Chains A and B, each alone.
Chain A
Amino acid sequence: MSSRDRILGRVRRALADVPRDDTPPVPERPGRYPQYEQAFPRPYLREHGARDVERTVELLAENLADYRAVVHRADEEGLPMLLARLLAERGARTVLVPAGLPPWWLSAADATHVPDRAASTPHELDAVDSVVTGCAVAVAETGTLVLDGGPGQGRRRITLVPDHHICVVHVPGQVVASVPQALERLSPTRPLTWISGPSATSDIELDRVEGVHGPRTLEVVLLR
């Protein structure tokens, strides 16, 4: 007997006492599971507190800052100058550019562009100073950015290996209030990275230290 059959057999014997028929069936396919949903009333909130759009963006900014991300604001006209300044302040000589990043974002920056290529090795990524990306969704209540590999976001590794990450969020279009609302917008078939503040550890006497492995500096630009 295969281990698969052995384990599934054990599960079935273990559940011999459970009435099987009055329970809802397994969801048929993604997005179609009325019986499972009926069996689970979800009385928890879709959003904590009522806010207008402006307030939700404000909350995002507050929570990002609370988790030690540096928050900036810009309009379309000011974005290239702001990005150029942020890179210069860090002394970044090279900047990773994911495919699909609007070229005008970095039109004023002096740093040499390094395109994200499938062939580039981790060592090559490690040599780059900064990375600029967009995002898929930002969650106000938790101060979280979610990247899904879409245009302007690149592969998961590019926001991880360089020590400095600048993420541009369209507000209010890309902002949702809560985690349930974010999951609704995202597709599980894409690889997803949720980022809340810079990499951090509290493993040494619970003292928080930024950036053991991921970028030590996370800057977020709220773009209108």
Chain B
Amino acid sequence: MSGTYLGMPAFPEAARDAVHDRTLRGNLRHATHTIRAKRAKAVAEVSDWAELREAGRRIKDHTLLHLDRYLEQLEESVTAAGGTVHWAADADEANRIVTRLVEETGESEVVKVKSMATQEIGLNEALLEAGIRAYETDLAELIVQLGKDRPSHILVPAIHRNRGEIRDIFRAEMGAWGRPAPADLTDTPAELAEAARLHLREKFLRAKVGISGANFMVAETGTLVVVESEGNGRMCLTLPETLISVVGIEKTVPTWRDLEVFLQTLPRSSTAERMNPYTSMWTGTTDEDGPRAFHLVLLDNGRTDTLADEVGRQALRCIRCSACLNVCPVYERAGGHAYGSVYPGPIGAILSPQLRGTASEIDASLPYASSLCGACYEVCPVAIDIPEVLVHLRERVVEGGPVVRNGNKVVLKPARGHAAERAAMRAAGWAFTRPGVLRAGQRLASRTRRLHPRTLPGPGRAWSASRDLPAVPAEPFRDWWLRTRGGKNTPGPDAAGSTGEDGLK
């Protein structure tokens, strides 16, 4: 999978830089706390939230466990409605398909609706290589694109930018992409939005090709659903002559009726609204209303590998609402960029290492980008047990084991950076099963405690750089027990030596 940001440091380094950026931390704190409070209110409005959440979980699980049949059904219904279905095993294939489809229209520019899937496969870059310019049309994505930046949040990708920065970006960059920003542009949000409106309208009105993702695909009817606020989605979905939607295979739901669950849970979890301003639903093509050609590219790109993992597959239930980001104490401080993937926050920490594998340093570090506080599981509208998957992935990173990569079973070697940790765990396991060794080791540790360093050498240094090492007790618990019988104070065999050391403290 492409989409790993090149030269991206592993999570701990990236996060360290981010937590020192005070503007970023302030913006993030404000954003996540505001959305968090609003979401709680929106959720409290529906008395059957728990039932909706459970229904969402079950629908998604059922779909995943019968995904082959539902994908075949989806293909059939989209085709019957006048669409064309393409299958892409990985990012390269998806990019090749989309590039070819655009080239066949003879166009050299396309308008895009914000889509995680196309970011994941690096579509804009691939199109550019073929001489095709892709314009992002979501306001936040426009800010990110003009700023030659990366999105930092699923829902509000430019949340790390404040209004002054946005004005500067618009003033400096809009001209190179089309209609320039007015010379006297101020930093009020209304004026900034107006500048974006005029800049983008020019593109919408002449665009011949639109590219989107989708929030849901209904197998039963072949209907695609896009949920949004600004109307840029509707522009891209209805004005161009050709529409190409790139959608992960896990976005399938079985029936039309299933939408009643997600159309209630998604907006409330995401923007904390009863309903988002615009939702578009289309089934194939319709005469004289909307694109005359519709192409659906079904994207695998690591999803079937994720499906093969009995614990990890639940990550594919995700409906990308971003609620888990807004409650995560780690995300709030580190920001979205530190995760090094298009999927930041708790869901990114479990999705990216599964989609991409854990071969790279950043992917191997992601399962550790959490305090396991469980807040993400609490808010998740499809009840993904993110902490459970995190622990599962940590084990895999440290221990290795069988996984599926690109459809093939492979045995993963333990990640390199974790060799010392693994060795320590092995040694501990060995000692714990040999009481004599453990006892001897503990006594040795107690008696040499004055010689122990304050920081760890070698690979442990980073860990102990910001922490005090726990002091080794003066007397091993076993000895204390033997000596005191659990506090009954019967002197044990070497009581004198141990208590004597205690006094030196």
Give A contacts to B, CB under 8 Å.
2-4, 6-15, 17-18, 23, 26-27, 29-30, 33, 36, 39-40, 42-45, 48, 63, 67, 118, 121-123, 126, 139, 141-144, 149, 155-157, 160, 179-180, 183, 188-207, 209, 211-215
Contact = CB atoms under 8 A, between A and B. Distances in A.
Nearest to B221: A188
5 contacts: A4-B87, A189-B283, A203-B140, A204-B193, A209-B189
State the 6 A-B residue pairs at the shortest beta-carbon distance, nearest first.
A214-B231, A213-B231, A10-B304, A14-B308, A194-B279, A142-B275
A11 B235 contact: no
Contact of A23 (B62, B277, B283): B62
Contacts of B490: none
Interface string B233-245: 0110111000000
B288 interface: yes
Contact of B197 (A13, A183, A198, A211): A211
B189 A213 contact: no
Contacts of A183: 256-257, 259-260, 263
Contacts of A30: 220-221, 255-256
B376 interface: no
Interface centre among A10, A33, A122, A214 (most CB of B within 10 A): A10
Contact of B255 (A23, A27, A194, A204): A27
B229 A10 contact: no
Contacts of B196: 212
B66 interface: yes
A198 B234 CA distance: 13
Contacts of B281: 188, 191-194
A36 B255 CA distance: 9
Contacts of A10: 300, 304-305, 307-308, 404, 407
Interface string B138-164: 111001000000000000111100110
| Chain B CB within 10 A, most for which of A183, A197, A204 | A204
B274 A6 contact: no
Contact of B62 (A4, A39, A211, A212): A39
A13 B58 contact: no
Among B66, B162, B220, B277, chain A packs the most CB atoms within 10 A around the CB of B277
A206 to B, nearest CB: 6
B279 A27 contact: no
B129 interface: no
A143 B229 CA distance: 14
A7 B72 CA distance: 11
Contacts of B221: 30, 188-189
B289 A11 contact: no
B48 A45 contact: yes
Interface string B82-97: 0000011100010000
B178 to A, nearest CB: 15
A196 B27 contact: no
Interface stretch (B28-36, B435-443, B451-459, B461-469): B28-36
Nearest to B309: A14
A197 B67 CA distance: 36
B280 A193 contact: yes
B310 interface: yes
A7 B307 CA distance: 12
A12 B193 contact: no
B275 A194 contact: yes
Contact of A193 (B138, B278, B404): B278
Interface in B256-297: 256-257, 259-261, 263-264, 271, 273-283, 286, 288-290
B275 to A, nearest CB: 4
A138 B229 CA distance: 18
B160 to A, nearest CB: 11
A199 B197 CA distance: 11
A4 B249 CA distance: 12
Given A142-B275, A197-B277, A213-B197, 10 more contacts: A8-B71, A14-B304, A27-B254, A44-B52, A44-B55, A156-B289, A191-B281, A192-B279, A201-B230, A206-B30
Interface stretch (B7-15, B198-206, B382-390, B473-481): B198-206
Q: Pick from A6, A8, A157, A203 the residue with the most CB of B within 10 Å.
A: A203
B51 interface: yes
B322 interface: no
Contacts of B286: 149, 190-191
B255 A206 contact: no
A7 to B, nearest CB: 5
A188 B230 contact: no
